[in-house]
Structures are given as C-alpha cells and as structure tokens.
Chain A
C-alpha cells in the first residue's frame, strides 16, 4: 500500500465537506493511521470552493497541504471543482469519484463565463485520471429522501470503491458516532446506496 495516502474532498460551500473529512479522518485513525486534515473553509458560506486535504500515513505525520502531483484520490461533490483539484494536484495516477451535478458559479449565472457541457467535462476528467467513478450522488440522495445526504452517498461510494484500505464496518461505526441520532437512519441508507453503487459500477 502506498504511503502516504493523499486525498482531497472538494466541492462548494454548503455541500458538507467538513463532515466527510471528519468521518474519513476518524475512520483512518481507527485503522491506525496518523492523520492530518487541512481545510480551507474561511469563505465557505459565501459559495466559494471548499477543499479538504486528507493525509494518511503509517510512518509519520504529514502537513496539511498536498504537494503538486501527489494526490491519489479526489472525491468531488461538483465536477468543475474536481477537475480544478486534479489539474492543481493530480497526475495520471489519480483516481476520481465525482458527482456530475453542476453547481453554477455566480459568474456563469450572470452570463460572464460558460460552464462546459457536462459530458465534455466528464470526458476530459476521464482523460487525465487513472480511473473515474461517476456517482449521481445528488440524484441518489433525493431518492433516499433528502438531497443533503449527497455527501454521505459519496462517502459510501469511496468505501465501496476499494480505493482506501478502510473496511466498510469502520465507516459505518464512525457514521453512527458522528451523525445525530435523528438523522442516523437516513445517513446509513445513504452510505449503503453509495457503497453499492460504487461496487456495481462497470470499471472498464
């Protein structure tokens, strides 16, 4: 297993990055990893990009910023943000799990710039990665009952992808610990659907 494992969770303010990085970091620490999470969320409430750098190692403590070219896994809640991180920190070895649903930047809404056609964008992402898993997490979350759990669908997908050496049960245990009791069932369902979707994807 590669050491360190470098991962970025990226999206737009309000998509629930922080909870996801908390779940991942806690799950990794249960598995005996030394963990650092670097977060930038100062302006997250203002619709900006939000990303968390997660660094896991059995040997030493790593810093909160991943060096260029060294990210192994990107979990993108938004496709443009996933692409941005791939270009900044990725390499042809990177694996991406991406929610294809766009969140339009304000300049796109204002007609000052264009959002690329989603198929083109996803093709480009596939072209620069070792593997790309497209998970319709917003759609799946709505089916589960609340679009808000889009982030937990993605945690499930990450667990189901096999990209991380962390067993399903550990994720489930951490979710039980960090999610408030009244929302637990919804989140467990979201995790399960995400997990199964990733497992069943044809990865040709």
Chain B
C-alpha cells in the first residue's frame, strides 16, 4: 500500500531520478515534472511525490509559481483521501505575498477555499454532501475550468467512497450506496456490476465482498514474548 504511494509503478525512470536525487531542486526541471503532472491528469495516474517536487520548486522559486498546476495537483490529491496527500500539498504551499504589479488575476486564492471544503467533506465521509456541493452553482467555475480536464475525476472520488464502504459495510442498501456514488438506476447497477459486487436477490441490497476490514471477530490478544526480553535469563543459563 505504502510502496505504491512512495513509488507508483507507473513512474518513469527519469522522474524517479528527479524525485530521489538532488536534481529535484533544479528549477530548470520544473517543466519535466509539470508535463508529468499533465500526463497523470490525462491518463488517470497519480504520483504524489513527483507532484510534491513541483510544489517544492515553487516554494523555493516563487517566480515559477503556476496556479493552474497547483490546482490540478490538489485535485489529484483529493482522491487520495483518507491519506493526507491534500494536506501535505497545502503544507508546502507557502502563503504568497501579492506582488505590487499583477499581470492577471491569480485563481488560487478563490479556488483554494473551495478545494478545502471538498477535502473536508471527503475526509469526513460526507459523500452525499460532497456531490451536492461539487455540483452546486458555486463550484461551476471549478468544474468548467479544471475538473473537466482531469480524466476520471468523478470516478476517482467514487473510489474514495468505495474504500470507506468496503471497510465499514457487509451489506448496504442500493439507495445509500447510490447517494455515496452520486449514481442511480442503470448507472448504479452498471457500476456495482463493474465492481463485481453481488446483489442480494431477496432484499435487493448490495453485498460488499468480505475483506479484512469488514470481517470482525472478537479476539483475545495473547502476550507475545520477544527474544530480547529473555536475553539476560538465557545468557545466564549459558554461563551457568
């Protein structure tokens, strides 16, 4: 799980060299990383560490700062919830002081609060509220200018909901699942089918396949004695 996060299998070698080496600080490499971000956006890949490397370059070289790139990075990070990716990006996004001469308005100050709202709803598993908010008028600019470009954005959010459902439920009503996925009717049926989840014919409820998180059993944790605890006793026995 963490291994894929540290180094996704889709990461090309040149990017790996950049991310792991000192070259990540070289401002002239920013375009390589930005291209890689747009590649992620088009092909539904995700590589947090590479994207953080972009933000790091922005942090050290404010001249490079490109708000559109930042917004795209944050959109990708949203779908990683409940992992802290979104916050990790925000952490190295230094507050920028507005230059006295501004060529064009910076979309970030107005967009960032919206993204934070979405992140908060996702992290708190308020999936129906997420879709309602996301599809509201206030978020139209975000949808029209940004998420429309991110291939599979809505599906990536659905994955967040699916992860939470898988961990919590053994059975779930299709209505509830539909509200989490913002799908209904045939679309929902198709989505459930694609997940290969079964439908209980008697109740019409959806059966969430067993996995370590939704299999619960009461256990008694037995004490485990580790060898180092016994070193003194054993070494004494050997001496004697």
> Are A and B bound to each other?
no
Chain A residues with CB under 8 Å of chain B are none
Chain B residues with CB under 8 Å of chain A are none
